[in-house]
Amino acid sequence: MASPLTNFNYSYSDLDLHYPSSPSDDSNSSIDLSTNPCPAYSAEPYAEPPPYQDAPSSERPRRASTAARLAIAHPYARLYAKKEEVKRRKIWNHALEKSLFTPYEISTIGAPQRRTIYIASLEAHIDKLHAQLLEIGYWPIPMEELKPYHGLNSKTAKSIVSGLQHDASVARLKMLELERANKSLSDSLRLEAPNAYNYPDLLPYSGTAPHLSATTTPQPLTYPVNITEAGKHSIPPQFSS
């Protein structure tokens, strides 16, 4: 028995296919979009959406400002900015160096080396003058007044003292910058939360007493005094009363 679809032959040309992009001229097969509009193909012209309008600042929810957080600089930021400044050393030129150095030495020896030699020669000349004053018995300053300065003529002592003074000045500047940063942060926190009692850890660093309103009274902490019956069973007998 043959299949009923054996002698059934058809092609796409035999079918009357109509697409929305090219409707047929036959009035019976055409679709009237005015009476039965299709949601995908509307007869109305395309209208652009209105431009985006941001809501007023009063209607938007408040949130922490990122710019305000970024405005808080590092406490040492100003110190680092000072270090970035390039300081040019002045050209060292002394009038008496020509009496000590020859023109050839001035042209061949660098200024830092000539400065070191020049200062050392001046110190040696001063020591020689002091020795001559002691030999003739003339000394304008009593020896007792020079005892506090004894030993500072050494280069090692001078470098140690200058290094300690520099370290002390840097530490003092850092301390001042930290105090300024702590004060500005505590002031900003007090502006956001006027009740300073909520931040007891900030009070020792702010230098001011807490501002307590008439309605705000600190409540003492309460601890459980009596042990419940259920809690007694969890305590060893030797410790239970």
* pLDDT for the residue numbered 83: 62
Which of the 8 DSSP states describes residue 198? G
Yes or no: say if 106 and 114 are a contact pair by the CB < 8 Å rule: yes
* pLDDT for the residue numbered 222: 53
Within this chain, do residues 173 and 199 fall inside the same structural domain, yes or no?
Answer: yes
- For the stretch 97-104, contacts whose Cβ atoms lie closer than 8 Å and that sit 24 or more positions apart, written own/partner, are none
Within this chain, do residues 133 and 178 fall inside the same structural domain, yes or no?
Answer: no
Within this chain, do residues 150 and 195 fall inside the same structural domain, yes or no?
Answer: yes
Token couple for 220: 């003492």
pLDDT in tens, the chain (241 residues): 555 555 555 555 555 555 555 554 554 555 555 555 555 555 566 666 666 665 555 555 555 555 555 566 777 777 766 665 566 666 666 677 778 888 898 889 888 888 888 888 888 898 899 889 888 988 878 878 877 777 666 666 777 888 888 899 989 988 988 898 888 888 888 887 665 555 555 445 444 444 544 455 555 555 454 545 545 555 555 555 5
* pLDDT for the residue numbered 13: 54
Domain assignment of residue 36, yes or no = no
Domain assignment of residue 99, yes or no = yes
Domain assignment of residue 69, yes or no = no
CA distance 121 to 236: 88
Within this chain, do residues 102 and 123 fall inside the same structural domain, yes or no?
Answer: yes
* pLDDT for the residue numbered 132: 92
Within this chain, do residues 134 and 159 fall inside the same structural domain, yes or no?
Answer: no
Domain assignment of residue 101, yes or no = yes
Residue 55 burial (CB count, 10 A):
8
Domain assignment of residue 20, yes or no = no
Within this chain, do residues 196 and 146 fall inside the same structural domain, yes or no?
Answer: yes
Number of domains into which the chain is organized:
2
* pLDDT for the residue numbered 214: 47
Domain assignment of residue 21, yes or no = no
Cα separations (Å) of 115 from 102, 119, 153?
A: 14, 6, 17
CA distance 22 to 178: 79
- Torsion, Cα 27 31 35 36, to 10 degrees, reads 160
Within this chain, do residues 97 and 109 fall inside the same structural domain, yes or no?
Answer: yes
CA distance 71 to 179: 18
Yes or no: say if 79 and 174 are a contact pair by the CB < 8 Å rule: yes
> Which pTM value belongs to this model?
0.29
What is residue 19's three-state secondary structure? strand
Within this chain, do residues 158 and 186 fall inside the same structural domain, yes or no?
Answer: yes
Domain assignment of residue 156, yes or no = yes
Q: CB-based contacts of 51: which residues, under 8 Å, 6+ apart?
A: none
CA distance 211 to 197: 7
Amino acid at 45: P
Query: At 125, which helix (H) or strand (E)?
Result: helix 111-136
* pLDDT for the residue numbered 142: 81
151 dihedral zone (left: phi>0; alpha: psi -120 to 50; beta): left
- Backbone φ, ψ for residue 162 (5° rounding): -65, -40
How many residues would you count in the chain?
241
- Backbone φ, ψ for residue 194 (5° rounding): -60, -30
Residue range of the domain that includes 104 = 92-140
Beta bridge mates, 22: 19
Within this chain, do residues 200 and 150 fall inside the same structural domain, yes or no?
Answer: yes
Domain assignment of residue 163, yes or no = yes
